[in-house]
Structure formats: C-alpha cells, structure tokens
Amino acid sequence: MNLFSLKGKRALVTGGTHGLGMAMAEGLADAGAELVISSTTPEKLKKALEYYKGKGYKASGYIFDITEEEEAAKKVQEIYNNEGPIDILVNNAGIIKRELAIDMKVSDFRRVIDVDLVGAFIMSQLVARDMIERGGGKIINICSMMTELGRNSVTAYAAAKGGLKMLTQNLATEWAKYNIQVNGIGPGYFATSQTAPIRVDGHPFNDFIINRTPAARWGNPEDLAGTAVFLASKASDFINGQVVYVDGGILATIGKPINEK
C-alpha cells in the first residue's frame, strides 16, 4: 500500500474550496498529503480551511487568479517560501458559461478558455520548473465528459476541456523525461450542492442522467478521491498523458443502458 501513500507530499489544488475539488483534496489529505488550496474568494477559502483543519489535515490557503501570470508566479513562489515545494498540482479551478453559441459574447467565450485552459497551462508551467529541478512530480488536470462530447449551450466549456486533454498529452510528451506525470480526470455527473436542485425524482435531467448512466446513479464526490490519489501517487509512475473518466460508464456506451426501460 506504500505505492498509494502521499505521506510527505504537498498538493496544490486550485479551486479546492468546494465541490469536487474539495472531495479530491480530502482524498489526497487522507492519503497523507499536506494541502495548499487556492481561490479567488476569501470567504470560500476561509470556510474551506476551517473544514480541512477541523478534519485534522495540514492545510494552507492562498488568494490569487490563476489566469494572471505575474500574480500566479508571485503566489507560487510565496507557497514555496512559506510551505515548501509542490509535489502534486491539481488543476481543478474552472468556470462554465451556459449559453447558446450563436448568442455568446466573444468576451465570455475567451473568459472560459482563459480560466479552464490557459490557467491550467500557467500553473503547470510555473510548478513544472521546480519539479524538473527536483527530479519529478505529478500534475492532474480536471477534464470533463465534455472533453469528449459536445452538449447544448456549453460551447466554450467543451472547447476548453477538449483543449485541456491535448494540453495534458503534450505536457506529458515534453516532461515525461523529467519524471513528471501529467494526467487528467474526467468526472461525469456528480451529486454536489450545485446539482441538488435538479437531483429530484421526476426532474427531466435527473431522470436522463440516471437512465443514461449504466451505474444508474449520480456520482458521489468521494468517488473521485481514489482516482486522484492513484494519479498523485507512485502507483501511477508509468502512466502519462491519459484522462481517466470517472463517469459510471456513460462514455462507454451509445446504446440503451440496461437500467433503461
């Protein structure tokens, strides 16, 4: 089981203040990692740190915008100075703008690409420089089912997440020789506070997800923890440039799931 131990490792999780980011951060901490959480919202960061420390985890937090290169570089250096080197980077921070492509403002499209794709590049580049010097590290990009599939009204998000897959593969190609593994996680549909209003019996989208998912349920946030730990640990040292989809089987089928009548 030492293959999966993260004891003595430090993980920076961008946007790890709530939802799936928090679930993955908690999994990493349970495996022994020290947490560093970033956010753009002081109130969310304070609440998240109280939660982590209440669980007995060692955790610190920093406020900065991952899309601002100079600001991010200063904060990453501050993290190194205050906490120590970053062994694991989870590029989790992201936004979505639900609007039909024909109506979407170019500025909104650019903002989604900037946060979901360019921000991941900026953080990966900043952290990888030190990882190269130290002889290795783990970078995990949080992709999506929209990395592989289109969906109505999420054009910018799908474009960003599709690009994130190729960023993952190209960074793995360039940095594998430095013992840096760059992989991705593609979550399916999960039970979070954001999806609570539609996760009720009789809601069309709730019925759609349950019927189209071979596992016949929404994912629980903790379902992501094992994959995050695996990709952050020594157990995945020869896995590089891959996206692991944690989706209950949705992407595995275009047919009629066994649970659908």
In the chain, DSSP assigns E strands to 10-14, 34-39, 59-63, 88-91, 137-142, 180-187, 243-246
CA-closest candidate to residue 182, choices 195, 172, 193? 172
Alpha-carbon distances of 245 from 71, 184, 251, rounded to whole Å: 32, 8, 8
Q: Report how far residue 221's alpha carbon sits from residue 196's, in angstroms, rounded to the nearest whole number.
A: 13
Tokens 């997800």 correspond to 209
Residue in this structure with the two tokens 């989208």, named with its chain if needed:
205
In the β-sheet with 243-246, what is the strand arrangement from edge to edge?
A: 59-63, 34-39, 10-14, 88-91, 137-142, 180-187, 243-246
Annotated catalytic residue 157: yes
Q: Which is the catalytic residue, given 57, 62, 157, 245?
A: 157
Six token digits for residue 138? 């783990």
Q: How far apart are CA 96 and CA 112, in angstroms?
A: 6
Show which residues are catalytic.
157
